[in-house]
Amino acid sequence: MADIIKLLPDHVANQIAAGEVVQRPASVVKELLENAIDAGATTIKLIVKNAGKTLIHIIDDGKGMSNTDARMSFERHATSKIATAEDLFKLNTKGFRGEALASIAAVAHVELKTKPDGNDVGTLIEIEGSTIINQEVCATPKGTSIAVKNLFFNIPARRNFLKSNNVESRHIIDEFQRVALAHPGIAMSMYHNEGELFHLPSGNLKQRIVNIFGGKTNEKLVPVQEETEIVTVDGFVIKPEFSKKTRGEQFFFVNDRFIKNAYLNHAVSAAFDGLLPDRARASYFLYLKVDPKTIDINIHPTKTEIKFDDEHSLYAILRSTVKHSLGQFNIAPVLDFDRDSNLDTPYDYKNKNALTPKVEVDRTFNPFANVAPPKKGAQLPKHEKQNTTGWEKMYEGLQSKPSADGGDFSSVSFESDASNTDIFVGAETSMRTENGMNNAFAKAESTTYQLHNKYIVTTIKSGMVIVDQHRAHQRVLYEELLRNITVKESVSQQLLFPLVLEYSTSELGLILQLKEGLENTGFAFGKMEDETLEVTGIPTSIGEGQVPIVLEQLLSDLENEVPDVGFSQTDTLAKSMAKSMAVKAGESLDDLSREHLVNRLFACKEPSVSPSNRTTFITLTGDELEKKFK
């Protein structure tokens, strides 16, 4: 039998490794930024063109590489970070597997310029698809400059799987922010298509957060700090009143490495229990320092998942630490929230001992001293018996026949607690009466009823219809918004005073991309700069107080995907706005509103399903009802 197992060529092995390491342009940005940090850089510049598909260029002032090291850095499993297997359990660097540069060079054109401190000239290396096409000396400043061009040029299928430029740009910004937040002492800047997005000077953690997410973030931060034998916790949480429905501002760092951990996220959410608005999520920037021996980083190719030795202890410490900080800064109510401040001990009496009051008692006091004693042989007074003669006269004039003015005992009504036993809440039923008896089968004035403030019940020729009011209203608003955006005939109500809202740079960029669609729904915008958005007009179907909710829901729906310009973008916009503007379950509707909603629903093109393809109504025929009573 012939041998069938063969050793893969290097270029094939590198492309396989690239499938794990290089998933999209943001993966290249992450690996190269981490290499610059491991090189001891104090200033890092990131230049991106065409969302990283055309160019990703990173320049740092680190220690640089020699001629031999520059060549070896592109070999598989070549690294300066570890030497033995034991080093994997005490990692203090970002990268350690030695596959990043080899994998990137396998699927792109790479140009590397590097020079260590003390050398007169540096090294230039040009690689195309794992093949070195040029190596020579060059003049370059201290540090390393690496440019990745034409990503996936030799794998068209992988390039076709990339999303739109808007989506890929957001992923690059996310990776840049994560690295920048983990290392506030390093000055970092980012340029996209020759426009500067971020300019972050070196500083402390709070300054870095404010520089990334805007100056208004400063007042939202609550410091968190705790040091134990297991873990040291540092960072900030966002005050509950500024929480959002998105997960955008949730950052965990372990030993200066960004991670994702649902278990620890639950610990923070548990600390905010009872403080967050409905469906809002806790926002935080938390930094954990643990012994490298107690964690395993090498369980995921992107190294964003970490395995802890003692997760339960971390959970308890993190939860109590965040809860303590919220209480310490009067964010969460303390146990003695009804305490009267007037009862506090003044500072002047703080160190004084309490004096026991002296109570003097007159033991010779006799309360009966001045009362004359009763005479001998006297009897105590007796109660006189009341005269009950002629009691029948009290009832004179009362006959069993009804009087002329209707004073009949048969019409006496007794006061009792009001009880509502109607199944259909909100239905005003006017029942016909006959011979003083209620007719239980009399027809009600309204043809629609509201059940549990969630469903609308109405009759049809064949039986009855039960409508989910929230989903039905979503369908009605969705088709109306689609029509307005397409036809561009929406009506806008101008605000007397413009509404000024605050968003981060990335969130403002998303709204700017959807500005035309929002304007077609009835929104009107003023200035959009300096992380503020000025709203001068709103659709007639929403109130001024709903504007932040509508836009926040839109940002939440666009968190993971920004659709291209076209119908997909319009569809996402209409779905998101319909979901936030629709009447919610639990809201009571009057007769006119119920009937109007039902009529508008059945006038839609697709009344049977909501925009998210969920059932809006069900029907029960007369035959189905009869079977229920058999």
pLDDT band at 440 (very low <50, low <70, confident <90, very high): very low
Q: Which amino acid is at 326?
A: L
**Among the four given CATH numbers 3.20.20.140, 3.30.1370.100, 3.20.20.120, 3.40.630.10, the one describing domain 467-618:** 3.30.1370.100
Using an 8 Å Cβ cutoff, are 461 and 574 in contact? no
pLDDT in tens, 217-242: 888 899 999 999 889 999 999 988 88
Chain centroid to CA 81: how far?
Answer: 37
Q: Residue 42's pLDDT is what?
A: 93
Question: Exposed, middle or buried: residue 106 (CB in 10 Å: 0-12, 13-18, 19+)?
Answer: buried
- Specify the pLDDT at position 427: 44
pLDDT for the residue 419 = 46
pLDDT value of residue 47: 94
Report whether 524 contacts 536 (CB < 8 A): yes
Higher per-residue pLDDT: 600 or 276: 600
Which is nearest to 504 in space by CA: 302, 88, 261, 213?
213
pLDDT value at residue 311: 86
pLDDT at 233: 93
pTM over cut 0.75: no
Cα angle 406, 410, 413; round to 5: 90
- pLDDT of 445 reads 43
DSSP track, 302-370? T----EES-HHHHHHHHHHHHHHHHHHTTSSPPTTTT--GGGSPPGGGTTSPPPPPP----TT--TTTT
Q: Rounded to whole angstroms, what are the CA distances from 585 to 447, 448, 580? A: 20, 17, 12
Alpha-carbon gap, residue 101 to 106, rounded angstroms: 9
Tell me which residue of 118, 125, 111 sits closest to 143, measured CA to CA.
118
Read off the pLDDT of residues 326-368 as tens digits, 9 standing for 90 and up.
Answer: 888 766 655 555 555 555 566 666 677 777 888 888 888 887 7
* Beta sheet of 524-529, edge-to-edge order: 492-502, 532-539, 524-529
Average pLDDT (270-293) is 86
**Neighbour-count burial of 392, counting CB atoms closer than 10 A to its CB (0-12 exposed, 13-18 middle, 19+ buried):** exposed
Residue 433 has pLDDT above 50, yes or no: no
At 14, the amino acid letter reads N
Which residue ranges make up each domain of the chain?
10-200, 205-328, 467-618
Q: Which residue has the higher pLDDT, 47 or 552?
A: 47
- The closest alpha carbon to 286, from 271, 298, 303, belongs to 271
- Helix and strand numbers, DSSP H then E, in the chain: 16, 24
Find the range with the poorest average confidence among 90-104, 256-270, 431-445, 589-603.
431-445
**Secondary-structure class of domain 205-328 per CATH:** alpha beta
- pLDDT band, very low/low/confident/very high, at 45 (cuts 50, 70, 90): very high
Share of the chain above pLDDT 70, in %: 77
What is the rounded average pLDDT of the residues 302-314?
80
Separation of alpha carbons 335 and 333, rounded Å: 7
Strongest mean pLDDT among 86-95, 468-477, 559-568: 468-477
CA atoms within a 13 Å half-sphere pointing along the CA-CB vector of 584: 4
Question: At residue 340, what are phi and psi to the nearest 5 degrees?
Answer: -90, 120
| 91, two tokens | 């990692």
Write the pLDDT tens digit of every residue in 595-626. Answer: 888 888 988 888 888 888 889 998 888 888 88
The average confidence (pLDDT) of the chain is: 79
Overall average pLDDT of the 82-96 stretch: 62
Q: Quote the pLDDT of residue 378.
A: 59
Average pLDDT over residues 494-518: 81
Query: From the centroid of its chain, how far is CA 79?
Result: 39
- Asked whether the predicted pLDDT for residue 279 surpasses 80, the reply is no
546 to 337, 539, 540, 564: CA distances (angstroms): 32, 10, 11, 26
Give 448-474 as a DSSP string: EEEETTTEEEEEETTEEEEEEHHHHHH
What pLDDT band is residue 443 in, cutting at 50, 70 and 90? very low
* Higher pLDDT among residues 349 and 23, named by residue: 23
Q: Tens of pLDDT along 553-564?
A: 787 777 655 555
Tell me what pLDDT residue 389 has: 63
Residue 380 pLDDT > 70, yes or no? no
Confidence grade of residue 72 (pLDDT, cut at 50, 70, 90): confident
With beta carbons less than 8 A apart as the criterion, state whether 323 and 333 touch: no
Main-chain phi, psi angles of 97, to 5 degrees: -90, -20
Q: CATH second-level architecture of 10-200? A: 2-Layer Sandwich (3.30)
Per-residue exposure over 527-565, b if at least 16 CB sit within 10 Å of its own CB, e if not: ebeebebebbbbbebbeeeebeebbbbbbbbbeeebbee
Which band of pLDDT confidence, cut at 50, 70 and 90, is reported for residue 375? low
Average pLDDT over residues 532-557: 82
Backbone angles phi, psi at 543, to 5 degrees: -95, 170
Report the amino acid identity of residue 603.
A
pLDDT at site 346 = 63
Single-letter residue type at 546:
Q
- pLDDT per residue as tens digits for the range 566-591: 556 778 788 888 888 888 888 888 88
Q: How confident is the model at residue 402 (pLDDT cuts 50, 70, 90)?
A: low
pLDDT (mean) for 197-214: 90
Higher pLDDT, 2 or 419: 2
